[in-house]
A and B are shown apart, each in its own frame.
Chain A
């Protein structure tokens, strides 16, 4: 009897310990990324080595230094002073407020044919920071995937994952989460989830397309540098503000939409918005903002 109890305790202890090990690598990656970004944008004095090709005048006049943690939720506006000014002006009359209202309307008043509603799938709307989740048998499920799964389960047609109703409902979820001060806390608690994270990570860091660029070329090594006149945003904090009202689109769009646009610019044939490629990539991307506040919806150029 005593042997069984001891054995049981040991097995229990071991499972508790090993539940932590699945996200060990991801946490290492996140810590190293945060450290790099904070060092890069720490001081004007140390900037030359990180920005060897940026004119000194630009480093002197247009950069905000001493960035830490939550600062990075603003993306390139964290360091780009001119951009931040324009951003602040635009946020005085945020163009996405209608989207939040539309999203709230969808959440509260959409009645599926079978009588159910979004409340049955998502009883608490302050859940933006929990997605994507890894679901055994399904793989990575982003919020947009979960919304479409809810629709399908209830006999309704799935929505376009790039914009429109999908973006509006995401805006409501993001806003509800932001109001409650929620932060991103993506979870990796199985071997399969860890594999999906590693897949997304490899996608992020692999060079491809006729320009032979990886996401990292621009958003890790390139963060803070410019392509023509556009400042490149950093990987750390890259997804906190979605869904995004992008001036280039003149409307609200999802993270999936933005990634697809990026693919086009890099000379690749684009991936489907609900493909494993896209979902694994978003799993990795969001984990790299773990601990940062849910900050959407928001404006970007």
Chain B
């Protein structure tokens, strides 16, 4: 009986993903606000949540640039006190670069990291609404 309780608790712990739950509770307007918190702090938030997004297979990638890339290059720019981030990435094997203001890149990296995880939790509640024969009424 005790073994069963322990196993159940362990499994429940596995399913209760703390970073997903934490991200789902955050207000991106406040937490990713570079004017209020500074680019460095905002980027730390991105660094905290994005690895979990990668692990769960839900990381955002926009127009060839993964959030990992946003984070990596923005961190370099912040350390070097540069106002512009230069991101190097590949599209179909071709090398490309794109520039963003450092503040913009930090904001985006933060939002992308949090929202990727928050959407995992949101999808839990909404996915059945799209299924004919289940939650989808037409």
- Touch between A and B in complex, CB under 8 Å? yes
Interface stretch among B1-9, B58-66, B73-81? B58-66
Give every chain B residue within 8 A of A208 (Cβ-Cβ): 58, 116, 119-120, 123
With beta carbons under 8 angstroms apart, the residue of B60, B128, B132 that contacts A220 is B132
Nearest chain B CB to A102 CB, angstrom units: 24
Stretch in contact with the other chain, from A29-37, A113-121, A165-173, A181-189? A29-37
Q: Which of A193-220 contact B (CB under 8 A)?
A: 201-202, 205-210, 212, 214, 216-217, 220
Interface residues on A, range: 20 to 34
Q: Which chain A residues border B66 with CB–CB below 8 Å? A: 269
Closest to A40 in B: B138
Let me know if B61 and A267 touch, CB within 8 A. Answer: yes
B133 contacts chain A at the CB level, 8 A cutoff = yes
Min CB gap A163→B, angstroms = 13
B60, A32: Cβ atoms closer than 8 Å? no
**Within 8 Å of chain B (Cβ to Cβ): is A28?**
yes
B100 to chain A, nearest CB (A): 15
Judged by DSSP, the binding face of A is: helix
Q: Which residue in A49, A206, A221, A268 is a CB contact (below 8 Å) of B59?
A: A268
Residues of B within 8 A of A33 (CB): 132-133
B87, CB-defined interface residue at 8 Å: no
Whether, in the assembled complex, B54 has its beta carbon less than 8 Å from a beta carbon of chain A, the answer is yes
Contacts A36-B138, A267-B60, A268-B58; A216 near B133 (Cβ below 8 A): no
Q: Which of A267, A268, A269 has the most CB of B within 10 A?
A: A269
Say whether A157 faces chain B, with CB atoms less than 8 Å apart.
no
Known contacts A35-B132, A208-B119, A267-B62: does B127 contact A214 (CB below 8 Å)?
yes
Closest-CB distance, B23 to chain A (whole angstroms): 14
Query: Does A210 lie within 8 Å of B60, measured CB to CB?
Result: yes
Judged by a CB distance under 8 angstroms, whether A159 is at the interface is no
Q: Chain B residues near A206: list those with CB within 8 A.
A: 123, 127
Q: Confirm or deny: B131 has a beta carbon within 8 angstroms of a beta carbon on chain A.
A: yes
Asked whether A269 lies within 8 Å of B61 as measured between CB atoms, the reply is yes
Within 8 A of A (CB), among B30-75: 54, 57-62, 66-67
Residues 31-56 of A contacting B (Cβ, < 8 Å): 31-33, 35-36, 39-40, 49-50
B22 within 8 A of A: no
Write 23 A-B pairs (CB below 8 A) sorted by A numbering.
A31-B133, A33-B133, A201-B131, A202-B127, A205-B130, A206-B123, A206-B127, A207-B119, A207-B122, A207-B123, A208-B58, A210-B60, A210-B62, A220-B130, A220-B136, A268-B58, A268-B59, A269-B54, A269-B59, A269-B60, A270-B61, A275-B57, A277-B57
Q: How far is the CA of A49 from the CA of B138 in the complex (A)?
A: 9
A268/B60 in contact, CB under 8 A: yes
A111 at interface (Cβ–Cβ under 8 A)? no
User: Does A205 contact B127, Cβ atoms closer than 8 Å?
Assistant: yes
Q: B128 contacts A205, CB within 8 Å?
A: yes
Residues of B near A29 (CB, < 8 A) are: 131-134
Look across to chain A and name the residue whose beta carbon is closest to the beta carbon of B112: A210
- CA of A50 to CA of B115, assembled, Å: 31
Docked complex Cα distance between A140 and B123 (Å):
24
Q: How far is the CA of A114 from the CA of B40 in the complex (A)?
A: 59
A152 within 8 A of B: no
**Taking the complex as formed, is B126 at the interface, i.e. its CB lies under 8 A from any CB of chain A?**
yes
* Bound: A220/B67 CA distance, A: 29
Q: B109 → chain A, closest Cβ, in Å?
A: 12
Of A36, A214, A267, which contacts B132 at CB under 8 A? A36
A49 — which chain B residues lie within 8 A by C-beta? Answer: 138
